[in-house]
């Protein structure tokens, strides 16, 4: 961005849940919305492949500070698998590398197979991924025709529900932990019944506690911004909306001032440890703190002082 462009952009704080269309990278989608908002600072969390659609949390201004917390969030996907055909990328953008017969199976048979993937397990990441091996992205090596050994990574499948099983088409919904590669999951499911498969369509329905109905299509974003950035800015969610899974701590005026100044403060009679959302007077969101278990909470990410002046520590 040029110096003139940066000088014309404005401070914009908040979250936008974009229903990313197919054909755009996550960063391309972010930059398009950033221009429509005329926002100075922006980031996204939980990248989607260009061919994938669905929820992409876009963070602007102070809300970029929640990106790290959203990276650890659980996600829900609607997955369409094409059975009997494997591709080099694991999705529909790749070249066919293998075909196989698909065994005759009933919906109950498929459901039993899917349920076998619930719980914690180790998953080998696909070659077409952004993980690094000796300083190089795996997808860079894959494009050169190279295959390297990948260490299995722990994942967790909380739920996996069959939606449709018809011929070579298998559709299911899965809620899973961070780091779960759906393309690898589809291949593993096919392998479990003696065939091959690839991910034909992938749509992310939820991230963390965000609901699917909170998403905005890119067309809606563009239409809302047609009269200027203000109507679109009014559709943004507050930063703490991304942190509803954390417990809430409320501080008095003196405690809020010390917390925003980087000092640990009393959180009342709390014996639990871990991260929490912290609020000051009139429920002004101050940031994220870490409770020590002895009734005190220390600032870990400060979003603003009482009165709204942003700070960082």
Q: Decide: 236 and 60 in contact? Cβ < 8 Å.
A: yes
CA-based nearest residue to 299, from 308, 282, 283, 287: 287
Nearest to 90 by CA among 190, 163, 172, 176: 190
212/19 Cα distance (integer angstroms): 9
Count of other CB atoms within 10 angstroms of residue 61: 22
Residue 60 to residues 123, 212, 263, Cα–Cα distance (Å): 33, 20, 26
DSSP state at residue 41: -
Give the active site residues: 49
Nearest Cα to Cα of residue 126 among 112, 139, 136: 139
Q: What φ, ψ does residue 95 adopt, rounded to 5°? A: -95, 145
Greatest alpha-carbon span in the chain: 69
Would you tell me the crossing angle of helices 107-115 and 182-192 to the nearest 10 degrees? 120
Residues 56 and 20 sit within 8 Å (Cβ to Cβ): yes
């Amino acid at each position: 961005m040029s110096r003139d462009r940066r000088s014309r952009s404005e401070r914009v704080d908040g979250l936008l849940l974009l229903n990313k269309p197919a054909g755009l990278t996550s960063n391309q989608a972010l930059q398009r919305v950033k221009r429509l908002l005329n926002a100075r600072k922006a980031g996204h969390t939980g990248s989607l492949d260009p061919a994938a659609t669905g929820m992409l949390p876009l963070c602007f201004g102070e809300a970029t500070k929640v990106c790290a917390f959203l990276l650890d969030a659980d996600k829900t996907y609607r997955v369409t698998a094409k059975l009997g055909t494997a591709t080099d990328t694991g999705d529909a953008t790749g070249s066919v590398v293998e075909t196989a017969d698909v065994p005759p199976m009933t919906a109950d048979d498929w459901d039993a197979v899917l349920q076998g993937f619930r719980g914690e397990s180790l998953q080998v990441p696909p070659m077409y991924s952004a993980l690094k091996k000796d300083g190089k992205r795996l997808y860079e090596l894959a494009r050169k025709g190279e295959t390297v050994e990948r260490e299995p990574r722990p994942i967790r499948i909380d739920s996996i529900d069959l939606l449709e099983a018809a011929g070579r088409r298998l559709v299911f919904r899965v809620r899973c932990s961070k780091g779960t590669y759906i393309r690898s999951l589809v291949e593993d499911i096919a392998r479990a019944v003696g065939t091959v498969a690839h991910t034909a369509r992938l749509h992310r329905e939820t991230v963390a506690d965000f609901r699917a109905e909170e998403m905005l299509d890119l067309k809606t974003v563009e239409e809302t911004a047609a009269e200027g950035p203000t109507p679109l800015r009014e559709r943004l969610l507050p930063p703490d909306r991304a942190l509803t899974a954390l417990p809430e701590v409320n501080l008095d005026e003196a405690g809020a001032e010390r917390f925003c100044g980087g000092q640990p403060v009393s959180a009342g009679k709390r014996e639990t440890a871990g991260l929490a959302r912290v609020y000051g007077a009139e429920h002004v969101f101050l940031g994220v703190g870490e409770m020590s278990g002895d009734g005190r909470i220390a600032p870990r990410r400060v979003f603003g002082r009482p009165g709204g002046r942003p700070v960082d520590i």
